[in-house]
Amino acid sequence: MENSELSLPTTPQVLTGAPLSGSDPLAGNPFGERPSERPAQRGGLRGRIGSALAAIAALFAKFFAAIKGALIFLPKLKMLTTAGTALVSVAAYSLFFGWWFALGFVILLFVHEMGHVIALRREGIKASAPMFIPFMGALITAKSLGENALAEARVGLAGPILGTVGSGVCLAIGEAANSDFFRALAYIGFFLNLFNLLPIVPLDGGRAMAAMAPWMWFLGFGGLVALELLAPNPILLIIVFFAGFELYRRWQARKSGSIEQAAYYRVSPRNRVLVGIVYLGLIGVLVLGMDAAHILSTGGHSFGSI
């Protein structure tokens, strides 16, 4: 088939009737413009489709702008979560200790958890903001605790180290101001950090034992069970349950004999000794701190007991 061309007339046409006399094609045109100069009208359907697409594009732009704004405020939402759970914990502890002591207690928990956060960041691991659980303490979450057992031990010991410093500050204030309130706060801080050094996962002492002697997990678990039998406590029972589950899980992984497990727990003798010195040294400092902060009320009950 041959191509055919459509030739347009070169003589202007007047659309409003027959040509008038004269040679001016603009004659009789009330707008003073040539027909070819008038803007072409858009097709009705095409125009409606274009408008709809433009509206959809604008809607998506607003949606993504809202998401971007939410991401900007995400760190603030995390801080609100920390602050909210802290306030709930203060309210719960105040039922037993009073508002001011409950506030100081939660601050000491925060200091302890920030020790873990700082250590994780030094290991290049992003950690969540602390979250408080009434009567259970506080926690943070992270994808891992380090590349090996030595890194896990550093992260585990960082909490009690900074927590011991915080409790020591309370004791110093108590002695300087002769304040039984700050001595009692120091006492309970020393006690909680000492409790966390029990050699059983998921407590901090169990994480230190991962680099020293994982078999001591069984010793720590036996101590927890004995403590629960001698002084039954529902919170301690929950800790025993989680400790038993974590002990079983870890020991099964250790027994697998995989290359990854062997590499994870491979710690040089020098580093084992260093972890042991820090671990045992912390225990000694905390015991001495509890002894120095121990005071008795007129009723004969320790302010620091729980």
Q: For 47-63, what is each residue's pLDDT tens digit? A: 666 666 666 566 555 54
Q: Quick check: is 34 in a domain? A: no
Q: Quick check: is 21 in a domain? A: no
Q: What is the DSSP string of 239-304?
A: HHHHHHHHHHHHHHHHHT--HHHHHHT---HHHHHHHHHHHHHHHHHHHHHHHHH--B-TTS-BTT
7 pLDDT above the threshold of 80: no
CA angle 183, 186, 189 (to 5 degrees): 155
Q: Are 82 and 129 in contact (CB under 8 A)?
A: yes
Range of the domain at 185: 68-293
* 232-249 per-position pLDDT tens digit: 888 888 888 989 998 898
Greatest C-alpha distance within the chain? 124
23-44 exposure pattern, b = at least 16 Cβ within 10 A, e = fewer: eeeeeebeeeeeeeeeeeeeee
- More confident call, 198 vs 61: 198
Q: What is the mean pLDDT of the chain?
A: 78
In DSSP terms, 285 is beta-bridged to none
Q: Quick check: is 59 in a domain? A: no
Residue of 287, 288, 286, 304 whose CA lies nearest to 296: 304
Percentage of the chain beyond pLDDT 90 is: 38
Q: 190: buried, middle or exposed (CB in 10 Å: 19+, 13-18, 0-12)? A: buried
Q: Quick check: is 6 in a domain? A: no
pLDDT at residue number 73: 46
Q: Quick check: is 45 in a domain? A: no
296 pLDDT above the threshold of 60: no
CA pair distance 68, 71, nearest whole angstrom = 5
The sign of the torsion formed by the CA atoms of 156, 159, 165, 171 equals: negative
Q: Quick check: is 99 in a domain? A: yes
11-15, 156-160, 215-219, 265-269: the lowest-pLDDT one: 11-15
- Residue 163 pLDDT level (bands cut at 50, 70, 90): very high
279 pLDDT above the threshold of 80: yes
125 pLDDT above the threshold of 70: yes
pLDDT at residue number 46: 64
- Residue 70 pLDDT level (bands cut at 50, 70, 90): very low
Specify the number of domains making up the chain: 1
Q: Quick check: is 55 in a domain? A: no
64 pLDDT above the threshold of 60: no
pLDDT at residue number 78: 60
Q: Quick check: is 304 in a domain? A: no
* 81-92 per-position pLDDT tens digit: 778 888 998 999
Mean pLDDT, range 95-124, rounded to an integer: 93
